[in-house]
């Protein structure tokens, strides 16, 4: 009996050993493990119609026409994929969309043969960034999960047209580049780049969101917010870099709230806004942060440089000011017209003692909210000392003339007045799963330095 049991026992041990070894090989780090591709998508011909499965690393795919991810389907884009859109195509997502670029191998959703222009002062009509060459990534109300990581999204903003408009429940002339509209679903966008649009880059009609560590350039030729969220949206925006935005970098409202959805509640911190708001044709709109119409939340630790309007707390209708908190925010102005709108005239932003420059250095003792004032004492004061972005802007370049990152570097020099001025006691509003594939990779907490770049290397990684 013992002679029979011993070989059986040894076989069981061997199976267990090699089974564990195989699991360890495939799952050496459960947070970086990439499951084998399901239904690999061929790159042999342009894509159109219904698609599902996995776009494979290292391949280039062509969108020949609009593509649809059906309600029960998933599209996963592995690291290092390039997708070229033609014929003003778009990706319409009824199911699940996941783009898993990495820092070493980002994904590209773009068009072929169009070069970026980094020329100061170029008119939007002459810049292909604003041409709307393809539609973008458009979720219907049935989409429950959209994840965009380390992904370049470029040259978007083509009008939807009647067929796509019917699918997403919007108008044919709508041209928002990325949309999400399910208050029970999750929208995650992190460590990605957005370049060029004809209107809003990201428009959230409702949903649970996490939008962190992204870079936005050239959003809209005459209107357009980088991130615009409406009724029933909750979550966090942090460590985003905005430059040359037509209107607002981050705009929040509780309007058009779906039945059963929660009040809009957004926590914002540690973002940087440069040269925003000057292309917006409406008076009183555009620049940096705007809280409006019944929304609650907070905004802390931000840096605003040469934006047409400062941090805006709206009127008619107002946000939920009883549940809106803010402070530790910085502003810089090259011109008097900008300094005179640090606290936008006609609106309700309340000066905070932690703001930079200190409100007492230029606001009158009897200042009332929304009143005009003389910002002359703070013009060209408190230079943020970016690594490579000289201020004041010279060479007859208008304040709205630089709408791109190019070779500029908005990290902080060691002498910057933004260092150590952040409020680290506030908490992000975490409403999405934490997962390397199906959720947020990391919820970066508030930083001790103002703006999106931290001197300890955390924050925005671009």
Q: What length does the chain have?
A: 462
Q: Answer whether 105's CB lies under 8 Å from 146's CB.
A: no
Domain count, the chain: 1
Whether 404 maps to a domain, the answer reads yes
Q: Which residue has the tokens 């990290």?
A: 411
Range in 25-29, 300-304, 400-404, 435-439 the model is least confident about: 25-29
Is 451 a member of any domain?
Answer: no
Are the C-beta atoms of 266 and 295 separated by less than 8 Å?
yes
Check if the beta carbon of residue 308 is closer than 8 Å to that of residue 316: no
- Residue 304's nearest CA partner among 399, 425, 439 is 399
Domain assignment present for 353: yes
With residue 7 as reference, give the H or E element that holds it.
Answer: helix 2-26
Phi, psi of 66 (to 5 degrees): -55, 140
Is 324 contained in some domain? yes
Q: Is residue 424 part of a domain?
A: no
Percent of the chain whose predicted confidence (pLDDT) is above 90: 88
Residue 391 falls in which region: left (phi positive, over 0), alpha (psi -120 to 50) or beta: beta
Average pLDDT, the chain: 92
* Gap between the Cα atoms of 296 and 325, Å rounded: 8
* Domain range enclosing 179: 51-412
Residue with tokens 């050239």: 218
Mean pLDDT score, 117-142? 96
Closest by CA to 385, choosing from 435, 344, 330, 425, is 330
CA distance readout (Å), 149 to 53, 197, 272, 286, 436: 18, 19, 20, 27, 10
Residue whose C-alpha is closest to residue 196's, from 239, 226, 171: 226
156 has a pLDDT exceeding 60: yes
The secondary structure of residue 347, as a DSSP letter, is S
CA–centroid distance for 98 within its chain? 16
pLDDT grade, residue 133 (50/70/90)?
very high
Report yes or no on 162 lying in a domain: yes
Partners of 49 in the β-ladder: 67
Q: Angle at Cα 85 formed by Cα 82 and Cα 86, nearest 5°?
A: 140
pLDDT of residue 319: 98
250: left (phi over 0), alpha (psi -120 to 50) or beta: beta
Q: How confident is the model at residue 400 (pLDDT cuts 50, 70, 90)?
A: confident
Pairing of strands 202-212, 178-190: parallel
The structure's pTM equals 0.92
Tens-place pLDDT, residues 198-227: 999 999 999 999 999 999 999 999 999 999
Degrees, nearest 5: CA angle 246-85-61: 135
Nearest to 348 by CA among 296, 392, 291: 291
Is residue 37 included in any domain, yes or no?
no
Element holding 65 (H helix, E strand): strand 60-69
Is 440 inside any structural domain?
A: no
Confidence of residue 333 (pLDDT cuts 50, 70, 90): very high
CATH number, position 86: 2.160.20
């Amino acid at each position: 009996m013992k002679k029979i049991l011993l070989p059986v026992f040894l076989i069981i041990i061997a199976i267990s050993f090699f089974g564990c070894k195989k699991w360890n090989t495939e799952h050496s780090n459960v947070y970086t493990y990439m499951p084998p591709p399901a239904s690999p998508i061929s790159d042999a011909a342009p894509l159109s119609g219904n698609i599902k499965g996995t776009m494979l690393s290292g391949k280039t795919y062509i969108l020949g026409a609009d593509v649809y991810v059906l309600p029960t389907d998933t599209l996963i884009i592995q690291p290092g994929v390039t997708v070229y859109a033609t014929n003003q195509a778009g990706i319409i997502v009824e199911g699940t969309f996941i783009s898993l670029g990495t820092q070493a191998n980002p994904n590209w959703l773009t068009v072929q043969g169009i070069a970026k222009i980094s020329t100061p002062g170029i008119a939007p009509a002459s810049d292909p960034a604003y041409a709307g060459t393809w539609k973008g990534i458009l979720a219907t109300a049935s989409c429950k999960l959209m994840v965009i990581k380390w992904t370049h999204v470029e040259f978007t903003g083509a009008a939807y047209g009647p067929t796509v408009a019917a699918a997403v429940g919007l108008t044919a002339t709508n041209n928002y580049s990325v949309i999400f509209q399910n208050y029970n679903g999750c929208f995650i966008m992190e460590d990605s780049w957005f370049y060029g649009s004809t209107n809003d880059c990201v428009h959230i009609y409702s949903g649970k969101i996490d939008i962190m560590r992204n870079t936005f350039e050239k959003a809209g030729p005459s209107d357009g917010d980088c991130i615009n969220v409406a009724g029933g949206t909750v979550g966090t925006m942090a460590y985003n870099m905005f430059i040359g935005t037509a209107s607002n970098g981050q705009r929040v409202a509780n309007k058009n709230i779906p039945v059963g959805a929660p009040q809009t509640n957004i926590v914002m911190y540690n973002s940087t806004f440069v040269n925003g708001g000057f292309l917006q044709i409406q008076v009183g709109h555009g620049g940096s942060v705007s809280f409006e119409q019944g929304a609650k939340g907070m905004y802390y630790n931000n840096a605003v440089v040469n934006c047409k309007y400062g941090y805006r707390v709206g009127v008619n209708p107002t946000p939920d000011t009883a549940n809106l908190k803010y402070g530790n925010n910085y502003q810089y102005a090259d011109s008097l017209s900008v300094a005179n709108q640090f606290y936008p005239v006609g609106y309700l932003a309340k000066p905070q003692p932690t703001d930079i420059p200190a409100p007492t250095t230029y606001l009158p003792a009897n200042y009332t909210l929304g009143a005009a004032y003389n910002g002359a004492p703070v013009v060209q004061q408190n230079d943020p000392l970016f690594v490579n972005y000289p201020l004041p802007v010279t060479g007859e370049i208008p304040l709205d003339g630089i709408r791109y990152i190019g070779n500029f570097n908005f990290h902080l020099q060691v002498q910057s007045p933004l260092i150590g001025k952040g409020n680290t006691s506030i908490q992000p509003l975490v409403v999405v799963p934490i997962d390397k594939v199906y959720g947020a990779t990391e919820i970066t907490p508030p930083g001790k330095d103002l703006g999106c770049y931290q001197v300890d290397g955390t924050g925005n990684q671009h």
